[in-house]
A and B are shown apart, each in its own frame.
Chain A
Amino acid sequence: MKRIGVYICHCGTNIAGAVDCSKVSRYASGLPGVVVARDYVYTCSDPGQEMIKQDIAGHKLDRVVIGACSPRMHEPTFRNTLAEAGLSPFHLQMANLREHVSWVTHDREEATAKAMDLIRAAVARVTLHTDLASLEVPITKRALVVGGGIAGIQAALDIANAGYHVYLVEREPSIGGHMAQLDKTFPTLDCSACILTPKMVDVSRHPNIDLLAYSEVVEVAGYVGNFRVRVRHKPRYVDSSKCTGCGDCVEACVMKKRIPSEFEAGMGGRSAVYIPFPQAVPLKAVVDGTRCLFLTRGKCTRACEEACSRGAIRFDDSERDSELEVGAVVLATGYDLFDARTKPQYGYGILKNVIDGLQFERLACASGPTDGKIVLANGCEPEAIAFLHCIGSRDVNSNRYCSRVCCMYSMKQAHLARDKTRARVYEFYIDIRAAGKGYEEFYERVQEEGVHFIRGKAAEVSERDGKLVVRAEDTTLGRPVEIAVDMVVLGAGLTPRSDAAEVAQTFHVTRSQDGFFAEAHPKLRPVETNTRGIFLAGACQGPKDIPESVAQATAAAGKVTALFAQDFLRTEAMIAQVNEAMCSGCLWCKPVCPFGAIEAVTITERSGRRTVEREVARVNPSLCQGCGACTAACRTGAMSLLGYTDRQVLAEVDAICLGTPS
């Protein structure tokens, strides 16, 4: 027989006000196995805990039931109490007499009766509690950062500066991400490249950072502390160790400037062998295998090879994989700009001089295709420019969410347009969302600069007499307006990367309704995912501007370094366990497991006089998070969840339903 101690907490008058605590404790003392039952004014206080410890010693208790507040509040407290008294912390069961009884029941008799039911159930259950132990697993103290935009760069630098090794994987030939494409940043009008490129160089020179550009993660296995990652390196067709980034091959390429440049958002051309942009890191040329005439058709003079004095061009280059072992992952894969072609009413892709926000950035940028001159497709300066907000955002037909940055970047671009041209500038907006440090002040400044703000979402852009006509309803005047301009800039919103679903699958992270990666808790765990050891930074988690991305990246790096500061990880104690003798090896449990913790193993056993091999399910204790979904899927009842076994739960059910034991 177990020796159980029961403690009924008054919680001042929080419980005692509605529940007759001494009656409940007298009732508990008559329950099977209970050797001591007390009620006490504040059980969680030091003297309260001391009383329990003394009872454990004096009455030789091996199980403890506490009727108090929610276990979500004080279960850890009382588990510690038990541990300090030399008892297994899992030999505890709490009955929630405050949140579930006294605070929701007016009738004292009913509340007291309900409290007695819950105590009876707890006593029945605690009798069946067993010792549970968690494992210690070592941690590989190297991190993987996926994505080389500003968020990935910041996370990599922070982790590397803390003294840990970082692999930074970037799928493009250069790091920098979208931020490298921007001209100025709001609201301070810092030159984007001026603040970003030093950081890019820091990454490339950091002794703790391995920069794996033009590479992609194709497979992730393992678990927190011990991930195994397969990375695919795309062929550059250029020997990076020989290339100096001089650009002679680029000049020599017969496709020179004939391929739309991704970096220039299609506003400029590049060669088939190219350096993405002048400040690229690594500053090495790359041959576009899908566009190079020699690689696609075998017909070319191979002028690039001739031009390269170092003989760096390597047409026999091929794809190769490598394996990395890391303890934590930061996902910083960024965003895609909303594709304005899907809103044909705005004429993007149809009408010349209708461009999106990123294209305007390239026009405005001094190192861009027009050397920073804001010009129309014909090379003339526009006389009037319209900026259209909320393209794709806050729209039930595309993205319901606000993209957070478009108001500000549209206003910044309006400022640049006013600064660089003599054009009249119009902003068509629904609301201005300028909630950031210095943002509202920037909004006021742009208003003072003579930009016309028209409240009303633009409905349509059409062409008339060589001009672009923007139709909108001016909601402040309450009437439709039509304004003729030369250039329309679409404030396109942010969307998840087009391959976010596959990436989510690769890394076993979930996505929220809008398709961005989901954080573990929207308020309290904003950089963690539900998969331990995988963290989020930047716009892959949701639309963010640069300061927010940097802040989140540093937070993610903090989480990684906090993880790495430990030598071992403790696994969950309440995990699933297979009774291999009962397991039929059907593996119905396997697809139910959200963490991939169940795998098939072959065991050898004696059957009569023969030795046979058969397949059974096995749980990886480091991966199991203890949800127990597998137990309900198990046909034979071989799968059990420690701490929540069928016997334990059914003991509660029986005790609740059957009333006072006889």
Chain B
Amino acid sequence: MPWNPLIVAFCCNWCSYAGADLAGTSRLAYPATVRIIRVPCSGRVNPQYIVRAFQRGADAVLVAGCHPGDCHYSTGNYFTRRRFLLARTFLEYLGVEPERFQVRWISGSEGPKFQETIKEITQAVRALGPNRKLRDES
């Protein structure tokens, strides 16, 4: 049985969480590798959460929000975009492969995009193997 990565996904309530719901309602199957944590806005996601997920053994982290310009809170995801460009560089500097940390814009009507995103990340991370950087020794 192939090794299954663990993806922690932070999805904003208004777009991406709804997109994941739509993937479900449309019965679009994807690997059981992702665990979704609901947040009000992708702008709520503190970079600390990402580091913590990697420390605790996540193999990949996805932050998903509304498309820029479509944010339920007008501007939240613009901050997400800026913050996570930096976070990505920082993680790379620490030795975390960039494939392991992804930010995507998935609207509430993009069930297929959610499915595709999970398939893609699963495939990419499966090729990399388990995350060994940042992981707590326990």
Contacts and interface: CB of A to CB of B under 8 A. Distances in A.
A632 B35 contact: no
Interface in A617-652: 625-629, 631-633, 641, 644, 646, 649-650, 652
B52 A627 contact: no
A629 B79 CA distance: 8
CB-CB nearest 10 A-B residue pairs: A99-B24, A628-B44, A657-B56, A629-B43, A627-B73, A627-B41, A110-B32, A594-B74, A103-B24, A99-B21
B128 to A, nearest CB: 17
Given A103-B24, A113-B32, A653-B49, 18 more contacts: A72-B17, A100-B20, A101-B32, A513-B69, A530-B74, A592-B43, A592-B79, A627-B40, A627-B73, A629-B44, A629-B79, A631-B44, A632-B45, A632-B46, A646-B48, A649-B37, A653-B53, A657-B56
B24 A104 contact: yes
Interface residues of B, number: 44
Contacts of A129: none
Interface of B: 6, 8, 13, 17-18, 20-21, 23-25, 27-30, 32, 35-41, 43-49, 52-53, 56-58, 69, 71-76, 79, 83, 115
Interface in A46-103: 70-72, 96, 98-101, 103
Interface stretch (A114-122, A207-215, A336-344, A414-422): A114-122
A100 B18 CA distance: 10
Contact of A104 (B29, B38, B83): B29
Max chain B C-beta neighbours (<10 A), residue from A70, A107, A113, A595: A70
Contacts of B23: 99, 104
B43 A104 contact: no
B4 to A, nearest CB: 8
Contacts of B76: 594, 627, 629
Given A72-B13, A103-B27, A513-B69, A629 B41 contact: yes
A285 to B, nearest CB: 43
Nearest to A576: B44
Max chain A C-beta neighbours (<10 A), residue from B30, B35, B48, B76: B35
Contacts, number: 129
30 contacts: A98-B24, A99-B21, A99-B24, A99-B25, A100-B24, A103-B24, A104-B115, A110-B32, A114-B32, A114-B35, A121-B37, A530-B72, A626-B40, A627-B43, A628-B41, A629-B41, A629-B44, A629-B75, A629-B79, A631-B44, A632-B83, A644-B39, A646-B46, A649-B39, A653-B56, A654-B52, A656-B37, A656-B58, A657-B8, A657-B53
A633 B41 contact: no
A111 B41 contact: no
Contacts of A118: 35
Contacts of B56: 653-654, 657-658
Contacts of B28: 104
A595 to B, nearest CB: 8
Contact of A657 (B6, B21, B38): B6
Max chain B C-beta neighbours (<10 A), residue from A100, A107, A625, A650: A100
Contact of A99 (B6, B20, B29, B37): B20
B65 to A, nearest CB: 11
A242 interface: no
A652 B37 contact: yes
A99 B69 CA distance: 27
Contacts of B6: 656-657
B48 A100 contact: no
Contacts of B69: 513
Say whether chain B's binding surface is mostly helix, strand, loop, or mixed.
mixed
A126 to B, nearest CB: 13
Contact of B39 (A100, A117, A628, A656): A628
B35 A117 contact: yes
Contacts of A653: 8, 37, 49, 52-53, 56, 58
Contacts of B8: 653, 656-657
A72 B40 contact: no
Given A72-B21, A99-B21, A530-B74, A105 B32 contact: yes
Contact of B32 (A72, A107, A628): A107
Contacts of B52: 650, 653-654
A510 interface: yes
Max chain B C-beta neighbours (<10 A), residue from A101, A121, A633, A644: A644
A106 interface: yes
B119 to A, nearest CB: 11
A105 B27 CA distance: 9
A592 B17 CA distance: 23
Interface string A497-522: 00000000000001001000000000
A403 to B, nearest CB: 22
B133 to A, nearest CB: 14
A179 B83 CA distance: 48
B18 A72 contact: yes
A550 interface: no
A574 interface: yes
A551 B17 CA distance: 33
Contacts of B72: 530, 627
Contacts of B32: 101, 104-105, 107, 110-111, 113-114
Contacts of A644: 39-40, 44
B75 to A, nearest CB: 5
A594 B78 CA distance: 11
A71 B52 CA distance: 25
B114 to A, nearest CB: 9
